[in-house]
Amino acid sequence: MSDAPTNPNKALWEKGDFTRIAESMRESGETLIEDLGISEGQTVLDLGCGDGTTALPAARRGANVLGVDIASNLVAAGNRRAESEGLSNCRFQEGDASDLNALADDSFDVVVSIFGAMFAPKPFDVAKEMVRVTRPSGTVVMGNWIPNDPTLVAQILRISSAYSPPPPEGFISPMTWGVEDNVIERFAGAGVPEEKIAFERDTYTFRCPGAPAELLARFRTYYGPTMNAFEAAAAHGREADLQAELEALFNAQNASQSDDATSIPATFLRVTVAV
Ligand SMILES: C[S@@+](CC[C@H](N)C(=O)[O-])C[C@H]1O[C@@H](n2cnc3c(N)ncnc32)[C@H](O)[C@@H]1O
């Protein structure tokens, strides 16, 4: 019997190798954690942590960090990264943001989820779980991509969806987490009033050596959602069209002045919830 994952959410993120995309996001992860003022001795949950782009910087600042992610390959990669840096205060384990049954109530000072929990199904359950595991007076911080935003990630998803089959009935787009009213409604369902939620626009910058086409190649080869879009496009002989559209996007968004480096800023909604 095959032990292939049957949870499509898990399968999507175990496909490819998100660490190859995360490598282009490290600087922004560090800047965000600095900006949050994470400090020694705090307990931090990084939810949908990938291989630790925000978990490791938080641990370097002396926080006790748990990274939780649905993808077992990313959990393993995070543990390897923490071990190689000798960060005994940072560990990673598998879990689903929709149901954090392994975690006790009121466990964390800060719950951070940067482009992580937004991808879990059942957004109302996700909000409840994030609030449940945060201690009273603690903070939840989410980074969520914004639907129809003109910058990189929203545009990749928009272009890709035109080549992909329609989602299954009842599917709630992760991008709905980038709409303030939805965020307010979901946290209201978790008992948090609107006045305890703050929103701001922030920027993550994707950086990598080489031309924008090389960053796109990483998405095409290693990023589950883009891999799926290329597979769907190939089924209709439209791979070249998708490649051309994405190449035009990556080139247009590249802000680097240098021929051998790419730097693409992308706007996201930063949500801060006072629990
Ligand atoms: C775009 S990546 C971001 C990873 C990381 N936060 C970062 O900034 O590099 C999305 C992450 O969310 C994780 N994820 C998706 N659905 C999840 C779920 N239901 N529960 C926990 N993690 C999930 C994926 O496995 C992946 O690591």
The CA 116 to ligand 1 mean position distance, Å, reads 4
- Phi, psi of 63, deg, nearest 5: -75, 155
The CA 118 to ligand 1 mean position distance, Å, reads 8
Average pLDDT of span 8-15 = 92
Biggest CA-to-CA distance, the chain:
54
Q: Per-residue pLDDT tens for 42-54?
A: 999 999 999 999 9
- Given a cut of 60, whether residue 139 has pLDDT beyond it is yes
Ligand 1 in reach of 90 Cβ (< 6 A): no
Q: Per-residue pLDDT tens for 165-179?
A: 998 888 999 999 999
- Given a cut of 70, whether residue 101 has pLDDT beyond it is yes
- Given a cut of 70, whether residue 35 has pLDDT beyond it is yes
**Any idea what DSSP says for residue 99?**
B
Of 268, 22, 33, 68, nearest to 139 by C-alpha is 33
Give the Cβ contact number of residue 221 at 10 Å: 14
Ligand 1 in reach of 9 Cβ (< 6 A): yes
Ligand 1 in reach of 50 Cβ (< 6 A): yes
Ligand 1 in reach of 58 Cβ (< 6 A): no
Ligand 1 in reach of 33 Cβ (< 6 A): no
Mean pLDDT over all residues of the chain?
95
Sign of CA pseudo-dihedral 236, 239, 240, 246 = positive
Candidate from 15, 18, 94 with most ligand 1 atoms within 8 A of CB, to mutate: 18
Sign of CA pseudo-dihedral 193, 195, 197, 199 = positive
Ligand 1 in reach of 73 Cβ (< 6 A): no
Ligand 1 in reach of 224 Cβ (< 6 A): no
Cβ atoms of 108 and 84 closer than 8 Å? no
pLDDT range class, residue 6, cuts 50, 70, 90:
confident
DSSP 101-160: TTS-TT-EEEEEEESSGGGSS-HHHHHHHHHHHEEEEEEEEEEEE-TT-SSHHHHHHHHH
pLDDT number for residue 252 = 96
- Given a cut of 70, whether residue 5 has pLDDT beyond it is no
Give the Cβ contact number of residue 60 at 10 Å: 16
- The minimum-distance atom of ligand 1 relative to the CA of 53 is 9
- Given a cut of 70, whether residue 270 has pLDDT beyond it is yes
How far apart are the C-alpha atoms of 47 and 75, rounded to whole Å?
Answer: 11
Average pLDDT of span 113-131 = 97
pLDDT number for residue 96 = 97
- Answering whether pTM is above 0.85, one says yes
pLDDT range class, residue 259, cuts 50, 70, 90:
confident
- Given a cut of 70, whether residue 180 has pLDDT beyond it is yes
Ligand 1 in reach of 268 Cβ (< 6 A): no
Give the Å distances, CA to CA, from 189 to 131, 142, 174, 192.
10, 17, 18, 7
pLDDT number for residue 1 = 45
- Which contiguous run of DSSP H or E holds residue 65? strand 64-69
Q: Per-residue pLDDT tens for 75-96?
A: 999 999 999 999 999 999 999 9
Contacts of 227 (CB under 8 A, 6+ apart): 15, 16, 220, 221
Q: Per-residue pLDDT tens for 184-237?
A: 999 999 999 999 999 999 999 999 999 999 999 999 999 999 999 999 999 999
- Given a cut of 80, whether residue 273 has pLDDT beyond it is yes
